[in-house]
Amino acid sequence: MIVTMVALDAIAMCVNYVVNPYGAWRIALINPIFRKLTGDRAQMPYQLRTTTPETVLIGSSRVQVGMRIEQGYRDAVLNASVGAATMADLARIIDVALRNPRLKRIVWGVDFYAFNARIHRVNPTFEARVAFSPSSLIEDSLLSLGALGDSFDMLKRTVRGRRRLPTTMTSNIPWPMELICDQLAATQAHGLAMVPQTNIETGLAQVQSWFYSNYVFSPEVAMRFRGIVERAQAHHIDVILFVPPMSEYELELIRQGGHWSDFERFKHAVAAVAPVWDFAAYNGISHTDNLFLDVLHLKPAAGNELLRIMFGLDASSACGEDAKIIAKSAVRLDPSSIDALLSEEERMRDQAASDSSRYSHIASAALRDPASRQSASGPRD
């Protein structure tokens, strides 16, 4: 029995190594196009070592989900974002990314919550993975039953062939506008627009508990952020900063929770380091629920249009109203423009608040939820 178990373990390890479903090893007997990552923190850190991207996307789950790359790495672009990323997490990711001599560009989705002085989460398991710990690497990529299941799924996709893969798995990054338009139309009946009001309220209460219930803006985190950006720039890396879009539900949490001044301090701190694309305002995106999967995350089609805008590529809005809304919501902040632009955002905020919309009512209910007033330990990774 022991011999049989050892033999089965050995076979499973061999399958996982040869198939390499997470890209944790440099072996590529099976085309990586058939890979499909299922967990960012357990899989992405290894691709930082085994790939040589020209562009790295970093940030929280807003970037990981909203600019999703199914394989993690495709078309010389690596999505190195992780859920609930802290500034310490992102600093470690960038440290490893800068060792890649082919790296040219970092696109950083900068989150307001990450500048909270009261977020001090440290994840030893994630730290070990980013450090390429041999024991973590073997456990995650060779000895895991989850990895074995993902290996068989990858083999099935390989047998079916590349033609059977959805276009979202084979297209260039960022997606061409034609695909973005198709996906915006195809996902109209999915996501936040279809979520019942009670579910939205519950989700918002969780967001409040995780990120905003005890928010204190941290100048120290802002200084660390500056140091990280300057270190990347010293390596001659083009650092593109953006504040990801927020739904109006989340903006109302910030406004009604009394943190709007902190939100503006955050934007000032980011723009003082480098020009930043600001998509987080009471703009067209925020109250277009069709563009969101849930109260936190954009749909990938919308995220890819943001990428096209930031890369200076054509983001033609001829395909529909949603694409036009995205294109019109892009605002560029820098020290010379930020005061005027934030003043305009305040006007938009006040106008939205005076409308007494469903966003304000649901956010108010979420703030009254006992869960939203609990001390936040943060979302699970």
Residue 328 within a domain? yes
Residue 108 within a domain? yes
DSSP notation for 112-167: GGGGBTT-----HHHHHHHTT-HHHHHHHHTS-HHHHHHHHHHHHHHHH-GGGS-G
Residue 5 within a domain? no
pLDDT tens per residue across span 177-220: 999 999 999 999 899 999 999 999 999 999 999 999 989 999 99
Q: Quick one: tokens of 69?
A: 């790359």
Residue 73 within a domain? yes
Please report the pLDDT score of residue 356 as a whole number: 77
Residue 277 within a domain? yes
Q: How confident is the model at residue 122 (pLDDT cuts 50, 70, 90)?
A: confident
pLDDT tens per residue across span 354-367: 877 899 999 999 99
Q: Which long-range contacts (CB under 8 A, 24 or more apart) does 264-269 make?
A: 264/342, 265/217, 266/112, 266/115, 266/217, 266/222, 267/243, 267/333, 267/338, 267/342, 268/338, 268/342, 269/115, 269/219, 269/222, 269/225
Residue 294 within a domain? yes
Please report the pLDDT score of residue 225 as a whole number: 98
Q: Is the pLDDT of residue 377 over 60?
A: no
Neighbours of 26 (CB within 10 A): 9
Q: Is the pLDDT of residue 165 over 90?
A: yes
Q: Quick one: tokens of 28?
A: 């590529």
pTM of the complete model: 0.94
State in Å, rounded, how far the first CA of the chain is from the last one: 37
Q: Is the pLDDT of residue 10 over 70?
A: yes
Answer whether 268's CB lies under 8 Å from 237's CB.
no
Query: Domain limits at 202?
Result: 37-133+167-373
Answer whether 173's CB lies under 8 Å from 307's CB.
yes
pLDDT tens per residue across span 236-252: 999 999 999 999 999 99
Residue 18 within a domain? no
Of 200, 206, 208, 337, nearest to 276 by C-alpha is 337
Query: What is the percentage of the chain residues whose pLDDT exceeds 90?
Result: 82
Domain count of the chain?
Answer: 1
Residue 344 within a domain? yes
Please report the pLDDT score of residue 320 as a whole number: 84
